Amino acid sequence: MRMGPDVPLLNDYKQEFFLKRFPQTLLGGPRFKLGYCAPPYIYVNQIILFLTPWLWGGVGTLLYQLGVMKDSCTAALSGALMFVTALALQMTNLYAKQKTVTVERMQIQNTLTDEDEFEFSSCVGSETVKFIIPGKKYIINTVFHSLLAGVLCGLGTWYLLPNRITLLYNNIGGTVVIFVFGWVTICIGEYSLIINTATETATFQALDTYEITALMRPFYIFVFIAVDLAHRLLVMFLISAGTAIASYFIPSPLGVILFMTGFGFILSLNLSEIGFALKHTMISHLASSKAKNAHRGLRIQFGWREFIFYVAVLAFALTEASLLHQFAGSSSFSQARPQAIASYILILLLVIMWILREIQRVYLFGVFRNPFYPKDVRTVAVFMEKQRRLMKVGVVRRILLTLVSPFAMIAFLSLDHSLQNLHSVSVSIGFTRMFRMVWQNTENALLDMVVVSAAQMLVFNPDLWWNRSLDTGIKLLLTTNRALPARVPQVGLLRDRLLQFLSKLHFAIAILLTSWTEKKQRRRSSAALIALNVAFFPVLLALVAVSALLSSPLLPLFTLPVFLVGFPRPLRSWPGPAGGTACVCSDTVYYRQLVPGLAAALQSALAAGGLGLSLPGSHYLCRFQDRLMWILVLEKGFTYCGVNIKGLELQETSCHAAEAHRVDEIFEMAFEHQEHTRILSPNPHFGHILTPCTVVPVRLYSDARNVLSGIIDSHENLKHLKDDFVKVLVWMLVQYCYKKSKTWESPGSANKNKQESFPENQHSGAVKGSRALREEDSFSVDTVEDWTDESDIFDFEPSSRTRDRKDPGQLGLTPKVHLSIPGSIETQDFLQEMSPEDKLNRAMVLGLPAVDKGKQPEVLPRVEFSCSYSELLSIPEEWRTAPVPSSKVSEMRQRFPEEWYHFVLSQLDFFHLKEKPSSLLTDLMKDQALKELYIHGVLSCCFGLFGLDNAVPAPRHVFRAYTGGIPWSAGLDWLTGKPELFQLALKAFRYTFKLMLDKASLGPVENFRELVNYLEGYESDWYIGLVSDLEWQQAVLQEKPYLFSLGHDPSMGIYTGRVLTLQELLVQVGKLNAEAVRGQWANLSWELLYATNDDEERYSIQAHPALLRNLTVQAADPPLGYPVYSSQLLQLPLF
């Protein structure tokens, strides 16, 4: 990927596209700039339609100003005219669509601009109507949007009456400005609603299935008008009604306390998990045993233990709240009263919990190194030994957070004197919210209460305005509820917005500074942009403040220091459920294996406080070797946390590698180089959007890759390869036959079961792969019959015979015998079972030797065993039919490792046989017929893999034999015809190759017992194959302890070995600046969905080590991002 300041923000085509789209968005949809020449009436018609709402509004306004109609009647008239007009326009579009000819000439379009090109015939022609008024997809939207257009025009007419504006501002000039721009705004909203919807810069998803985008602009206008209406008409009604309802249903203050406490606790629980557990319990009791088994593997996190715990906590909370409110909550606040004592307890709890949380992290407050954190944490054993004290501290913090703090806050709330009187709306809403936040967001609720209680203690005089005018409920409501406007200092709202402001300001300053300090980010415009930001720094602060106030992302345009206030979005930034899509590839399996272990480790770290203050919308980045895990906190409640884990690609591009290297550098400085640092030394990467938190032990695969030069090309190693292969193959065949014998009841039934247990139609991927490689350099021979000039050379029969052909059996006739060309091979008629691709790949070759059709297959003589139990270990008869010369059989008898053969037989126990002679193993060893079978079987496999040549195999041949891609030979053709035997031979060769590596690195094998241990270890603990094998992915998911693969780098001409080892290792975890992530994702959404800037070389996707821009883009949900793995919502219990 190209990097540097020369990368364009938008390419030439996208610039032209953007200049056409942006005016449409600005004006609500009129297309005044096209990519081709259009008649003038196209623009005139759009202008007329754009001004139509103003026309009908002007009629109503004129009638009102002349005193003909009242304001309400004027609004109704304008709205009715607009409704009729909108409905007529939609009907016109439907008529134009029906009038259009259904069969049109197909055009081949070469560029995207051709898609927008229309041919117009007249001012009101069908093409003109369809171009200007695209129409609605659904009939219901046709009616609904037309009705909405009428309401909008009516309300706009009423709202913009000149007399009303003059009375409000008492200024003729201001009235004219508001009247003109107000109607321009309404015209923009109406055009977007009923004529043509413009693409919005706030595009949230790629497809607008239900035509919601058309409602965005009218919605903003309605909100603006509704605020004025609500202020005048609805506020007093809603307050009065709410107070009356609350007072009627819960007249007792004690009842209010119990209601708030109980429902606050219940709503903070993981209700989805509880509902799933209850549903599972009902199914288990009512359904059949089959249904029970179907649900037995599901993970249930809510059981009887959790149920009893929650019931006990709820009962204690209700008891505490009622008793304190009844006996100690009657007095107002003072330093000697119980609520003041509760305030001191809350302050003490806050200090203790902050301290216990910070010492769990590697950096105190992200700035200074934690002297209590373990140093040099490179191994799990050392880290766990040093972290024992911190684990105990984490348990204490968990108890304080889960049990002590909520009850202390309930005591503080229950003791407030405002609950003694007749409760108001502020008490009902404010305290209900706080009684829920006590459980759902304990740490923030504790901070808010401490601030309020500290203010009460500082100004505890009841005559002061703070304590006289506002009760505790409304104070705490203003600290958590973002919807209520307030004219008093709002503690929690200020806390939340202040933290957002600081995060956004950090993000903005990081972009501003790195646009010059990072050489690859320095563009020609960087100096001018920095100067403008410095000169207008108050404006920049205002933008950041507005963005924080609206809780909207701060959008850096093209990730340059050009900042805009983004549109409000959910904290997770993307539509749809978590984990719905991912760019699945071969690397996905590694994330699927590690995610359960990572989730369990995160559960402990979150509960102990090692990840800091985790709130919905928090982002974390985990790193281990080449794996990057992106974690997003989706929800959090009492004793649970919901997260989504994404895995980023392992195939590193240059941009990915640059940012991953910076991540490694940050984590290494934090966790691996602590022995050379001073106590409380500053964070060398302070200011980066990634702040290291802690390391967590996770059971996953470590990936080691080695160059095999000096081993695979060693003549001495290759010389012993064949002998070792014979030994391994003998062991493999004996073990195979021994496992098969466990299904036989007696030696007499061996032959019958033996023939049924070796199917010939089982083909594996390795066989297909080897045949594909072999067919690249070979040809197949087909039958040639009565060929004519019209025949298809790829058919089995001439075209005259394949057309309208009927099965001879259906006609009651005997099949006709076709004579084939001499020298060709007669084939069966399976034309209808053959795909066109298979026919195309076949070729005709003449001149090969003819085949004797009358020759019968060779019948092998029956083997006479000296031991009746030898049938149990007898290899299948078809495995002994290899066309091997007798001289090679004699040679194999001399090379056959008889001692090893006897040792392998001596390791068999035959426990599955009910009655067996004591000399069974001795008899098997003495059976020469059985030995001859294994000699033939081993020789057949050697003949298939190595041929008849006794030369030492070359490294290239070894590699191709390992991968199953050996060049074609007669022996290999016979071997691949026996798929099961070929798989055994391939597996034995791979074991032999691994044995060669182990002998080269660990030393020679001393005895047969050690060799058997090697082979048994390969069988039970290893998967030895290729990364591309399906079995490799299955082995990873089954968590095989070790995996080995052989590779080849053709560019460097070297052979590599890859070993995956399953073990518990340390994964580094860091917290990301959530606002930096949201800002970059907002720019990504704008750039791809609005500006359609999907250029892979665009500036905003280039590496930015300070912002981790490329990694952040990857972690976005598809189709804008491309994570290779994305989990579903993972519910992590925290207690």
Structural tokens at position 428: 């009902």
Residues 819-871 have pLDDT tens digits of 333 333 333 333 344 444 444 334 333 344 444 444 445 556 677 788 888 88
Q: Note if the bond before 815 is cis, omega within 30 degrees.
A: no
What pLDDT was estimated at residue 275?
78
Half-sphere CA count of 388, side-chain side, radius 13 A:
4
Model confidence at 986: pLDDT above 90: yes
Residues 9-25 have pLDDT tens digits of 777 777 777 778 888 88
User: Mean pLDDT over residues 384-412, rounded?
Assistant: 88
What pLDDT was estimated at residue 1020?
93
**Contact indicator for 1060, 1023 with CB cutoff of 8 Å:** no
Return the number of other C-beta atoms located less than 10 Å from residue 208's C-beta: 15
Question: Is the model more confident about 428 or about 415?
Answer: 415
Q: Are strands 1054-1072 and 1022-1025 parallel, antiparallel or unpaired?
A: unpaired
Model confidence at 877: pLDDT above 90: no
Of 222-231, 262-271, 681-690, 839-848, the range with the lowest mean pLDDT is: 839-848
Instruction: Please tell me whether residue 622 adopts helix, strand or coil conformation.
Output: strand
Burial of residue 676 (number of CB atoms within 10 Å: 0-12, 13-18, 19+): exposed
Distances in whole angstroms, Cα of residue 235 to Cα of each of 224, 227, 242, 504, 745: 16, 10, 11, 34, 88
What pLDDT was estimated at residue 228?
62
Structural tokens at position 906: 């001596």
Q: Which residue is associated with the tokens 């202390």?
A: 408
What pLDDT was estimated at residue 766?
42
User: Mean pLDDT over residues 1040-1047, rounded?
Assistant: 94
What pLDDT was estimated at residue 116?
53
**Contact indicator for 893, 935 with CB cutoff of 8 Å:** yes
Mean pLDDT (the chain, rounded): 78
Q: Are strands 554-556 and 619-624 parallel, antiparallel or unpaired?
A: unpaired
What pLDDT was estimated at residue 860?
61
Model confidence at 788: pLDDT above 50: no
Question: Is the model more confident about 850 or about 372?
Answer: 372
Question: Is the model more confident about 927 or about 841?
Answer: 927
Model confidence at 698: pLDDT above 90: yes
Model confidence at 297: pLDDT above 50: no
Instruction: Please tell me whether residue 1007 adopts helix, strand or coil conformation.
Output: coil
What pLDDT was estimated at residue 183?
93
Q: Rounded to an integer, what distance in angstroms lies between the CA atom of residue 478 and that of residue 476?
A: 5
Q: Rounded to an integer, what distance in angstroms lies between the CA atom of residue 979 and that of residue 81?
A: 80
Question: Is the model more confident about 251 or about 729?
Answer: 729
979-1002 in b/e burial notation, b at 16+ Cβ within 10 A? Answer: bbbbbbbbbbbbbbbbbbbebbee
User: Mean pLDDT over residues 136-158, rounded?
Assistant: 90
Distances in whole angstroms, Cα of residue 1102 to Cα of each of 560, 659, 733, 1114: 12, 10, 56, 11
Structural tokens at position 92: 């016109």
What pLDDT was estimated at residue 806?
40
Model confidence at 542: pLDDT above 90: yes
pLDDT band at 256 (very low <50, low <70, confident <90, very high): confident
pLDDT band at 353 (very low <50, low <70, confident <90, very high): very high
Closest CA to 626 of 672, 582, 660: 660
Return the number of other C-beta atoms located less than 10 Å from residue 20's C-beta: 16
User: Mean pLDDT over residues 105-125, rounded?
Assistant: 56
The interaxial angle of helices 491-517 and 537-549, nearest 10 deg, is 130
Question: Is the model more confident about 1075 or about 255?
Answer: 1075
Question: Is the model more confident about 184 or about 468?
Answer: 184
Structural tokens at position 254: 């004690």
**Contact indicator for 1026, 1032 with CB cutoff of 8 Å:** yes
pTM of the entire predicted model: 0.77
Of 200-204, 828-832, 977-981, the range with the lowest mean pLDDT is: 828-832
Residues 735-781 have pLDDT tens digits of 999 888 877 654 544 444 444 444 333 334 444 444 443 333 333 33
Instruction: Please tell me whether residue 634 adopts helix, strand or coil conformation.
Output: strand
What residue type is 1033 in one-letter code?
A: Q
Q: How many residues does the chain have?
A: 1135
Q: What radius of gyration do the chain's Cα atoms show?
A: 40
Model confidence at 286: pLDDT above 70: no
Residues 424-446 have pLDDT tens digits of 566 666 677 788 888 988 998 89
pLDDT band at 662 (very low <50, low <70, confident <90, very high): very high
Most confidently predicted of 205-214, 232-241, 1038-1047: 1038-1047
Of 283-292, 498-507, 627-636, 860-869, the range with the lowest mean pLDDT is: 283-292
What pLDDT was estimated at residue 772?
40
